[in-house]
Amino acid sequence: MRAEDDKRDSQGRGGHVPVMLDRVLELLAPALSGPAPVVVDANLGLGGHAEALLAAHPALHLVGIDRDPTAIERSTARLAPYADRITLVKAVSDELTEVLAEVGHPRINGVLFDLGVSSPQLDEAERGFAYSYDAPLDMRMDGEQELTAEIVVNTYPVPELIRILRDYGEERFAPRVAHLIGKERAKEAITSTKRLAEIVREAIPAATRRTGGNPAKRTFQALRIEVNGELTALERALPAALDALTLGGRVVVLAYHSLEDRLTKRVLAARTKETGPPGLPVPLPAHQPRFALLTRGAELPSEEEIARNPRAASARCRAAERIREAVDEE
């Protein structure tokens, strides 16, 4: 599960700092050196990365996207000094193409994906993201959507719960957890994070519970991903972002669990390899890669950063640059 980065403040106000900020700035800087660059922060959060990018590039226009109205509200206040250089939109990241068309920036110079859950969502108990608080089973990033974790837990068939826990939580005891949820919800609806955490703990073998942190973390991750469609959104949003990049444009992705990171790796690998038949003496232009990787594997935060911000511990950074336009664009 993502260590849920602290996005609250690049200056440390409130004790929160954006994850791998210096590296993000370094990776995006070459793409933002032109006369009127445009960058997209596809998971705006509290605007820590956005603030630092705007401060570093006086000509930059930033398009910020977040599905959470609270994030939009707080980022609007935080980024007020740059009000004439920002466009903030309440939307899901996979609506990126439509958002860019609406704001008049169909091609962009850079894009940042800072995935997962932001600090306000974790730290505000009533939102039900964390097993460390007793709260209603909610987990919605956008409070206006209908699907909640309570609905998933109490109405999904047990086989579907097993799939979600196994695929999204990588929970090796998914059948045990799902079957116990099914048994307990038949007695009484499961409506609180505390009750769900108790059920998961009971389902996990005692020997396993003694290691690896809270036994509920994988179940909570799985439910959060299901409720918010996080992997589905990334699967659509990342290719759309790559398509929108101009020549020399760059994408940076901060992932916080292996599912996000593997999906990112797969999408970037597909865009950075030749697609022509093997054995040709000269690669055909149509099959040459359009992108090049900027990171060797997934880069990790430094030990110093983790000591300063423990929630950065699970961060994985990957980046790529557009090195060639598509043939039909040349």
Give the model's confidence band at 177: pLDDT under 50 very low, under 70 low, under 90 confident, else very high.
Answer: very high
**Using one digit for the tens of pLDDT, what is the confidence trace for 52-73?**
999 999 999 999 999 988 889 9
Q: What is the pTM of this model?
A: 0.87
Surface-to-core class of residue 53, CB atoms within 10 Å of its CB (0-12 exposed, 13-18 middle, 19+ buried)? buried
* pLDDT of the residue at 165: 97
CA atoms within 13 A on the CB side of 58: 0
Q: Annotate 148-172 with DSSP letters as a single string.
A: -HHHHHHHS-HHHHHHHHHHHH--T
- The whole-number average pLDDT for the span 203-228 is 86
Calpha distance 251→322 (Å, rounded)? 9
Sign of CA dihedral 167, 173, 174, 175: positive
pLDDT value at residue 4: 34
- What the block records as the tokens of 252 is 């940076």
pLDDT the model gives residue 48: 93
Above 60 in pLDDT, residue 122?
no
* Bigger pLDDT: 31 vs 308: 31
Average pLDDT over residues 131-147: 84
User: pLDDT above 70 covers what percent of the chain?
Assistant: 85
Query: pLDDT, tens digit, for every residue of 63-103?
Result: 999 998 888 999 999 999 999 999 999 999 999 999 999 99
What does the pLDDT look like over 266-284, one tens digit per residue? 999 999 987 666 666 666 6
- Report pLDDT for 121: 52
pLDDT at 279: 64
Instruction: Report the chain's terminal Cα–Cα distance, integer Å.
Output: 42
Q: Which two tokens stand for residue 171?
A: 């929970």
Categorize the per-residue pLDDT at 166 as very low, low, confident or very high, splitting at 50, 70 and 90. Answer: very high
Q: How far apart are CA 138 and CA 196, in angstroms?
A: 12
Average of pLDDT values for 106-125?
77
Across all residues in the chain, what is the average pLDDT? 87
* pLDDT, tens only, 248-261: 999 999 999 999 99
pLDDT at 280: 65
CA dist 252 and 317 (Å) reads: 7
Q: What is the mean pLDDT of residues 132-141?
A: 83
Distance of CA 221 to the CA centre of its chain: 13
Q: How confident is the model at residue 14 (pLDDT cuts 50, 70, 90)?
A: very low
107-116, 130-139, 164-173, 298-307: which range is least confident on average? 130-139
What integer pLDDT is reported at residue 211 of this predicted model? 72
Compare 10 and 40 and report the one with higher pLDDT.
Answer: 40
